[in-house]
Amino acid sequence: MFEKRMLNCKKAIDAIAFPGPRNPFVSNKGGPRVMNSDLLIVLGLLCATIVMFTVNRPPMDAVALLMMILLPMTGIITVPEALAGLADANIVLIAALFVIGEGLVRTGVAQQLGNVLVRRAGKSETRLILLLMGIVAGVGAFMSSTGVVAIFIPVVVRIAFNLSIAPGRLMMPLSIAALISGMMTLVATAPNLVVNAELTRHGFEGFGFFAFTPFGVPILLIAILYMFVARHWLCSKETLANPAASRPRFSTWIKEYQLKQRGFRLALQSGSPWIGRTIAELNLRSRCSLHIVSIERRRHFSTSILSPQADTVLEAQDVLFVSTNNPKIDINALCRENHLLELPFPDAYLSDISHSIGMAELIIPPNSKLIGKTVLESGFRTEYDLAVIGLKRNQQAWADLIREAKFAVGDVVLVGGSWHAIRKVHQSDHRDLIVMNMPLELENAVPVHAKAPFALGILALVVGLMVWGVIPNVQAALIGCLMLGLCKCIDMSSAYRSIHWQSLILIVGMLPFSLALERTGGIELAAGILGRLGDLDPRIMLVALFSVTALLGLFISNTATAVLMTPLALAVAGEMNVSPYPFCMTVALAASAAFMTPVSSPVNTLVVGPGRYSFFDFVRIGVPLALLVMLVTVALVPLMLPFTPVNME
């Protein structure tokens, strides 16, 4: 019924706007018509979509679903065409890249990359943006920009979380850098390949692999400088509403329990009597008042953090992180007697190993079987697989030997050990211990840290397959997902949770607009208007080409925009009897300058949720940047690619 009403409405519009012939594409005089009822309806729905995006009511993914329903009801496209995006290879590719990104998170690769960025940037948000945009643009020059964003989103979220920066301050620089990465190399983005293919099809020599780099690098530098200023226009209130902000950090407990004075890192040197013996055999708790919290063990390509077990055999070069509850211990004498080397204990050490080793505050409730027993008498380490490294009574840290203290009701016990053991206590219904505080570093816990080399190898394989084009990108990504599962870097439940379904629905819901605009003549209308400017100065034509390409990119994919605009650029160059390269390069650069709306590119769509952006955030940040990119393009393109006519191959 509703579909019939939509068709009747279309007929009424046709009768009013176009009296006479019933063909909506033909005027009374037989010439091409500049407007028709179908196009008016599509533009009306598009305007309604933009308005709803702007006010953010309803949510963007809900608006996309609504358009998937309404567009087929107009009769312009069919239901299968409206749903075709669900089977689009690019949608499957994006979902697969989310899974690969999760694999990097679960194995700690993303965290280590984030740690490198943080170490280099320090506490400077400006330096962090510089490094982030530079790395993303560099990586994106050789693989899918959408894939780069999908992989870097968890990295950026973790950095923002650790530095108490609103994610929205970093997600926009991430998406902008990923889009600019498409201006770096020939294979960086699909529009570049479309433009290059069209050039060769018309008999011209194609662009070289690095032909885009002289334009991409200056644009990236300008974008970085621009984001130093524009980041202040992005809302940063999200961090204030973060419920985790009130949770303690490792650094808080280090001060409260005076762990800095009681913690040591001891390396086992050659000849140490501890080498080859199990932790149970050494019995360091009774002999030396030492608790082994973690063991650093060097592997072939990395260093693993082990949680000590009674049957763990110590090896040469192992580094033990130990805590003592004996304030009178002579650590230098202990090292001399046992061929140990005391290593520095930096302030950030515990945070650096927090992906594997954790801490938690537990409280002794009434009727606990631990009451009246010491740590050794209770068999705490054997029972819970956790070491007691601190004790508070009446809100005061215990200053004497903890092993001699008898647990009392209300005592707060600081324990250290594997996150698995801590979660086991937290999730069980123990009546003897209650988890009082879990630290902020719990968010950094990595389930399968030992699998990091496998994850890196799989990522390198996927990127290599994409760069060399051995198989389609979507197949390369799916192979990567399967290999991550086979290597146990990720499981099925975490894989499904990692996919940002709202972003995928938003992309799928907007794809039908591209087909509807093509079918109703909207694209041809815009191209026809531009074609009438052929007598203008070449630089003015570059401005016109860039503007139309960028505006079309607001409503259809940048790949589709390149498909439509490249033939027009070649035709204009032929009419003006000048080289086609400046015009084709301008189209390619403009297609990648899709900064202005969240639906201009999947790259933007992916960061909407994590960055908590509104439609208008992209408009106020993206429009000035697009204008800057246009100015740089118009200034540089004629210098690098002169208008002088060239001979065909």
pTM of the model: 0.63
Mean pLDDT of the chain: 80
Range of the domain at 311: 250-438
Q: Which pLDDT belongs to residue 632? A: 96
Query: What size, in residues, is the chain?
Result: 649
Residue 268 has pLDDT above 60, yes or no: yes
- Asked, for residue 135, whether it belongs to a domain, the answer is yes
Amino acid 13: pLDDT = 45
Domain final residue, candidates 79, 99, 132: 79
Amino acid at 326: N
How many domains does the chain fold into? Answer: 3
Statement to judge: residues 66 and 150 lie in one domain: no
Confidence of residue 629 (pLDDT cuts 50, 70, 90): very high
Give the residue-averaged pLDDT of 421-426: 82
Same domain, 431 and 464: no
Alpha helix ranges (H) inside 231-264: 250-256, 259-262
More confident of the two residues 401 and 494: 494
Residue % of the chain over a pLDDT of 90? 20
- φ, ψ of residue 471 in degrees (nearest 5): -135, 165
Q: What was the pLDDT predicted at 12?
A: 46
> What value does the mean pLDDT take over residues 174-193?
86
Q: Does residue 214 carry a pLDDT above 60?
A: yes
Q: Is 20 in the same domain as 153?
A: no
Asked, for residue 542, whether it belongs to a domain, the answer is: no
| Residue 283 pLDDT greater than 60, yes or no | yes
Answer whether residue 244 shows pLDDT above 80.
Answer: no
- Together in a domain, 341 and 367: yes
Based on the fold, state whether residues 145 and 255 are members of the same structural domain.
no
Is residue 600 in some structural domain?
Answer: no
Is 523 a domain residue? no
Q: Could you tell me if 270 and 397 lie in one domain?
A: yes
CATH no. for residue 395? 3.30.70.1450
Q: Which residue has the higher pLDDT, 305 or 539?
A: 539
Reading the block at residue 40, the tokens are 């008016």
Per the model's pLDDT, the better-predicted residue between 27 and 186 turns out to be: 186
Which is more confidently placed, 108 or 478?
A: 478
Domain assignment of residue 425, yes or no: yes
Distance CA 422, CA 439 (A): 11
Closest among 58, 36, 37, 3 to 509, alpha carbons compared: 58
Confidence bin at 640 (pLDDT 50/70/90): very high
20 and 61 in a single domain? The answer is: yes
Q: Tell me if residue 211 falls in helix, strand or coil.
A: coil
pLDDT at 20: 42
Confidence class for position 76, pLDDT limits 50, 70, 90: very high
Task: Answer yes or no: do 36 and 55 share one domain.
Answer: yes
In this prediction, residue 385 carries a pLDDT of: 85
Assign 409 a pLDDT band (cuts: 50, 70, 90).
confident
Q: What local confidence, expressed as pLDDT, does residue 114 receive? A: 67
Give yes or no for residue 235 having a pLDDT over 70: no
Checking if the pLDDT of 38 tops 70, the result is yes
Q: Which of 61, 136, 167 is nearest to 502 (CA)?
A: 61
Give the per-residue pLDDT at 25. Answer: 38
Predicted confidence band of residue 218 (pLDDT cuts 50, 70, 90): very high
pLDDT given at position 589: 95
Q: Tell me the pLDDT tens digit for each residue of 582-618.
A: 999 999 999 999 898 887 777 887 788 788 888 888 8
* Percent share of the chain, pLDDT over 70: 84
| Dist. CA 422–CA 172, nearest whole Å | 36
Element (H, E) at 437: strand 434-437
Tell whether the model's pLDDT for residue 474 goes beyond 80.
yes
Residue 203: CB atoms within 10 Å: 9
pLDDT band at residue 110 under the 50/70/90 scheme: low
Distance of CA 112 to the CA centre of its chain: 14
pLDDT of residue 534: 55
Top pLDDT among 590 and 280 is at: 590
pLDDT single digits (tens) 360-380: 899 888 888 899 998 888 888
Q: Say yes or no: 267 and 235 in one domain.
A: no
Considering only CA atoms, give the Rg of the chain: 31
Fill in the amino acid letter for 55.
V
Domain boundary (79, 106, 126) is at 79
Highest mean pLDDT among 57-66, 377-386, 537-546, 631-640: 631-640
Inter-residue long-range contacts of 343-347, CB under 8 Å, 24+ positions, other chains counted: 343/265, 343/266, 343/267, 343/319, 344/265, 345/260, 345/263, 345/264, 345/265, 347/251, 347/254, 347/260
Say if 516 falls within a structural domain: no
pLDDT at 527 over 60: no
Residue 312 in any domain: the answer is: yes
Do 254 and 226 have their domain in common? no
